[in-house]
Amino acid sequence: MIETNQILNSNPLVNIEIFRCPICKEKLFVNEIGQLYCSNTQCTKNNESFLLLNNKPVLIDFDKSIIGESNFTANVGKSLVPRREKWFGKALRYIFQGESSITRSNVSYLIKTMNTLTNPRILVVGGGEIGSGFEEFYQLFRDNIMSFDIYDSENIEFIADGHSIPLQSEVFDLVIIQAVLEHVLDPQLVASECTRVLKKGGIIYAETPFMQQIHEGPFDFTRFTESGHRYLFKEHILISSGHTSGVGVALIWSLSAFFSGLFQTRKVGKLIRVLFFWLRFFDKLVPNKYNVDGACGVYFIGKKDDQPIKSVEIIKHYKGSQRI
């Protein structure tokens, strides 16, 4: 029998026993030549193996996903959209767009929380790239992290669609989903899947845009207010929530979109971001309740609980300035 880690990377967390079929959620098995199948005799993947890409399983239900099988057979698992620039471009992005101090504070909280656990299990949903502000977290918990995305990357162990996470329920101590939910067709289903794979008492960390224009073209579907984002994770006790970037950053996005449209080129929009980068510093001067109402992005930290919050509670949760 071929060793599991030959097929599922060398990450010690990656164990065939915790994987599940994305179609029927039954266990998977590996045959003698290293092919992955579903153990359910009624499932289509019981007789047809899952694709492998660079020894990473492609665990996607293509009948229900916006990702086509041809993306992995014809385009060798490349991202469907261009990814970020090389180091020089990233350096410029950091200089002119900065990094959210709120995200850094949230990451510090996650580090402290995970340090209280012995060998925590951490899942990153949409982890093809290391998220903004999470570099130190990855350095500290590299051996504790499993990650997946819809394309191949050195940062992931398997390829999957968040609408059907191919993993056993109640396995992880922390699930991180940063800048992902705007790119999925059914955010509630993806949030529920994140909750399902968390242990009771496990932590969810999510960041999602609010006042941002379209990015990643046709793969951009949804935005959330701070309250709507909190209710998305209604099966969690609130630890903390709010804006990651406020009205100043949102204004930069709007100006960029305005001038891109006026001159009919995104290059002008990028120039505008450079010229008006200083607007982001006004977020520090604007009270939180106004930043919440016009936030560029929002976050949620919660703990998995058995009792979902009631619908009426989301009205009381509102943190903005427009009190009635």
Could you tell me if residue 99 is inside a domain? yes
Q: What is the CATH number of the domain that holds 280?
A: 3.40.50.150
- Is the separation of the CB atoms in 191 and 233 below 8 Å? yes
Residue 245 is assigned to a structural domain of this protein: yes
Query: Would residue 218 count as lying in a domain?
Result: yes
Identify whether residues 9 and 97 lie together within a single domain. Answer: no
Angle (CA) 125-110-197 rounded to 5° is: 40
| Cα separation, 179 vs 261, whole angstroms | 24
Q: Is the residue at 226 inside a domain?
A: yes
- Read off the amino acid at residue 89: G
Q: Is residue 78 part of a domain?
A: no
Give the CA distances from residue 227 to residues 42, 125, 240, 303, in Å, rounded to whole numbers and listed in that order: 42, 22, 12, 17
Each as own residue / partner, the long-range contacts of residues 257-260 (CB below 8 Å, 24 or more positions apart, any chain) are: 257/213
One domain, residues 186 and 221: yes
Q: In this structure, are 9 and 142 located in the same domain?
A: no
Beta-bridge partner residues of 259:
none
pTM over 0.95: no
In a domain, 311, yes or no: yes
Same domain flag for 164 and 224? yes
Structural domain total, the chain: 2
Q: What is the pLDDT of residue 2?
A: 34
Q: Are 104 and 67 part of one and the same domain?
A: no
Report d(CA 181, CA 316) in Å as an integer: 24
Give the model's pLDDT for residue 4.
44
Any domain includes 104 = yes
Considering the domain architecture, whether residues 254 and 115 belong to the same structural domain is answered as yes
Check whether residue 231 and residue 185 sit in a common domain: yes
Whether 121 and 41 share a structural domain: no
Residues 278 and 197 in one domain: yes
Q: Which domain holds residue 255?
A: 87-317
The H-assigned helical ranges of 12-100 are 70-73, 87-97
93 and 69 in a common domain: no
Phi/psi at 269 (5° precision): -60, -40
Q: Say yes or no: 118 and 237 in one domain.
A: yes
Domain end (from 46, 73, 100): 73
Cβ burial of 148 (10 Å; 0-12, 13-18, 19+) is: buried
Same domain, 25 and 102: no
- Give the pLDDT means over successive 10-residue stretches in the chain (324 positions): 45 77 96 92 96 92 92 70 56 66 97 98 97 96 96 94 98 98 98 98 98 95 98 98 97 97 96 94 97 98 94 96 87
Picking from 47, 73, 99, the residue at the C-terminal end of a domain is: 73
Domain end (from 73, 108, 131):
73
